[in-house]
Amino acid sequence: MRTLPRPIWLGLLAACGILAVLVIVARRLPQPRPESNPPDLSEHPIYSRYDLAAGDAIIHFGTQPLWAFAGNVNQAMARDLILREELGNLGMEIRFHSFLTGADINYFVERGDVDGGICADMALLRVAGRLPMVVPAMVDQGYDEIVARRALRMEQLKGRRIGVPLGTSTHHTLLEGLKLHGLSEAQVTVVPMDATEMAEALAEKRIDACGIWEPLTTALLARCPGSAVIHRGRYLGFVCFTKSFADRHPEAVRLILAAQVRAVAWMLRDRENVHRSTRWTAEACQALTPAMPFPYEAKHLTEMVIHASAISRIPVIPSSAMADEGQLAREVEFLRALGHLPDGVEWPAIRAMFDSAILLQIFADSGRYRLDEFRYEGRDTP
């Protein structure tokens, strides 16, 4: 059997020493203006079934299975028997809940129902503009993609209809791609649309192009013969918690991050582990979108995850992304221009919420956090 690299926590510790990330004491953010008529996701046909019972001993964590690599990591974490045991020693338990998007996770975070989860950069920045958060680690980095119904150049999108989830990293990738090729948003028609609707809309010619990400890109290309990826832009994905939760339960935060580090190391030990986590992810995707047949074979998803792991295995937040002119600062300005951040929110205040020191504590005490032990539900893993 072909094997992948051995557990990597020692390499991660070295990387932490090399990648210096500025940690600034958080300051109070201004109060946000209320949103007008936000959707009531508590009535969502899937989310309304979740047991989000309140209680300081119960941790509610939001995941996104429709996200190659990050979804696999979360599904492994949800089956981590070491995490359950260690949280049990604190008198706590964790419940993982699947959501379609980071914006949906944000809805329940802001209601106080969910304590943390994974979010891509745009969704994270939006909630961080409205609620104090703690962001200790990356979970993934990859590419948003602009797919056209047929191969063409970005400048040929002028006057065409483009489906995109508004205010997301995909929306940002579209606008930056248009600008790079001499177009503005006003010269195209942006059609607000959920990512799960893109393939059908493109196939039915209701849109000419769309913004999407893996594993949905692969399914869309298969459903729409002749379609092509014409532009890509990088996104970053993060693990985050409400500051209120992190302040009350700092050890629980460390245990959850240790489970993330273990999940990545376990998957990289052996291709079969990637394949197993992919089957778990496929099951979670099907439960989340029961009306839509799951369009992927496990072997194809496995290859996607192995490819993604090449750039997503290190959870340290890169200092380049944190710079004053870096990717996250530019995205804050983008969200401000769209009116998706409260008045007065500035990048320095949001930057103060990123704290890589928590990861350093885990790597420095790897024995305590059992980074080289792997025990998952239904399988004892050496």
What is the crossing angle of helices 298-312 and 250-269, to 10°? 120
Under the phi-then-psi rule, with left for phi > 0, alpha for psi from -120 to 50, and beta for the rest, what region is 167? left
Token pair belonging to 192: 């607000």
pLDDT one-digit tens code per residue, 333-367: 988 887 889 989 999 999 999 999 999 999 999 99
State residue 34's pLDDT score: 35
Q: Are strands 374-376 and 379-381 parallel, antiparallel or unpaired?
A: antiparallel
3-state DSSP call for residue 63?
strand
Q: Given this chain, do its domains 9-28+41-49+56-141+237-381 and 144-234 carry the same CATH topology?
A: yes
Residue ranges per domain, the chain? 9-28+41-49+56-141+237-381, 144-234
Token pair belonging to 262: 């273990």
Under the phi-then-psi rule, with left for phi > 0, alpha for psi from -120 to 50, and beta for the rest, what region is 370? left
Whether domain 9-28+41-49+56-141+237-381 has CATH 3.40.190.10 = yes
Q: Alpha-carbon distance 9 to 364, whole Å?
A: 10
State residue 220's pLDDT score: 87
Within 8 A by CB and 6+ apart from 92, the residues are 57, 58, 59, 249, 252
Instruction: Give Rg (Cα) of the chain.
Output: 20
Most confident stretch, 185-189, 272-276, 297-301: 185-189
Predicted TM-score (pTM) above 0.75: yes
pLDDT one-digit tens code per residue, 277-324: 888 988 888 888 776 555 556 666 666 676 666 555 678 898 888 999
Residue 267 has pLDDT above 80, yes or no: yes
Fold held by 144-234:
D-Maltodextrin-Binding Protein; domain 2 (3.40.190)
Alpha helices for 163-297 (secondary structure H): 169-180, 198-203, 216-223, 243-248, 250-269, 271-288
